[in-house]
A = this chain, B = another copy of it.
Amino acid sequence: MAVSYYLCPQSLRVSSGSRLFISNSGYSWDNHKKRIHHLVCASARQPEKDLCLESKLLHLLLLWVRRVEVDPHLSPPKVQTLLDNVKWDDKGLAVAIAQNVDTGAILMQGFANRDAVVTAISSRKATFYSRSRSMLWTKGETSNNFINIHDIFFDCDRDSIIYLGKPDGPTCHTGSETCYYTSVFDLKEHQQVEGNELALTTLYSLESTILQRKSEVEAEQSGKPSWTKRLLLDNHLLCSKIREEADELCRTLEENEDKSRTASEMADVLYHAMVLLALKDVKVEDVMQVLRQRFSKSGIEEKKSRVSQG
């Protein structure tokens, strides 16, 4: 039975403790639909008791069906050419970086061979090549925390790949949102315990600070007084500030103020609005998701019709 390794969901686990087999019934080639139909043998190597068979099986079968549908010959010629021109290293690999499409957070980094990229294009799940296990693996196969791909990018040198996607849950096997939580400068300057600080970009670093102030307020810790804490404790003050800052932002346009004033007022609007988000337990990532869904492709036109109807 010659079946490509990537058709085998080797991480399949069953609750019974016994191995599960799906027998191979051969394959057919449908010239009209240009698809290969397979059934493959799958063997659970690490049976575990506490997993729900039905749920896991469904996920894995769906994944497997997606993988089976991979047909390199179906990819448009330009994608084929792109893949032909990738500078795979001496092991046939390129660096593959998974990035959260909404927050920009770098979730994890692995390696991909050509099959992994072809599988990722087809299944829309971030797929890597495991150098230690010498096989393809799709992030989420065991944890269900898949990274759902929105687009794939190659760099100018054609030896580095971004999987731009939306994670179903924490990416790191430790339960952390991303795998990057050990800050060198944190260690260098504060000698703190490793693993305290996620690699956060500006907006999410500010969100993290606001949430920290919120937890201090909720725990009634004394700590240092801060403007953020005052806002968190006074809805009237917060809302009057948001309205005031929005007005000041508008006046930079209406009164033709300079660019730096606009950037400064927009920063004020963002900060105060983010304090409100924290109070409402809404994450900036949730807002980004709304923006993405609303404004993808035809979204702006939809917005137009929604407003013009209103």
- CB of A4 within 8 A of chain B? no
Asked if B238 and A243 sit within 8 Å, CB to CB, the answer is: no
- CB of A264 within 8 A of chain B? yes
On chain A, the number of residues with a Cβ less than 8 Å from chain B's Cβ atoms is 105
- In the assembled complex, the CB of A204 is this many whole angstroms from the nearest CB of chain B, namely 8
Q: Which residues of A contact B (CB under 8 A)?
A: 75-76, 78-79, 82, 95, 97, 99-106, 108-109, 117, 121, 150-158, 160, 162, 164, 172-174, 176, 179-188, 191, 194, 199, 201-203, 205-206, 209, 213, 224-228, 230, 235, 238-239, 242-243, 245-247, 249-250, 252-254, 259, 262-264, 266-267, 269-271, 273, 276-277, 279-282, 286-292, 294-295, 300-301, 303-304, 307-308
A89–B216 Cα distance when bound, in Å, is: 43
Asked if B249 and A242 sit within 8 Å, CB to CB, the answer is: yes
A19–B183 Cα distance when bound, in Å, is: 41
Contacts A106-B97, A295-B206, A301-B227 given; does A187 touch B267 at CB 8 Å: no
Contacts A75-B188, A202-B102, A304-B230 given; does A82 touch B179 at CB 8 Å: no
A264–B277 Cα distance when bound, in Å, is: 11
Contacts A82-B184, A97-B109 given; does A303 touch B227 at CB 8 Å: yes
In chain B, what residue has the closest Cβ to A152?
B184
Q: Which residues on the B side are within 8 Å of A294 (C-beta)? A: 267, 271
Q: Which residues on the B side are within 8 Å of A202 (C-beta)? A: 101-102, 288-289, 291-292
Q: Which residues on the B side are within 8 Å of A287 (C-beta)? A: 263, 266-267, 270
Question: Which of B82, B105, B226 meets A300, CB within 8 Å?
Answer: B226
Question: Which of B102, B185, B194 meets A201, CB within 8 Å?
Answer: B102
Contacts A262-B276, A304-B227 given; does A156 touch B174 at CB 8 Å: yes
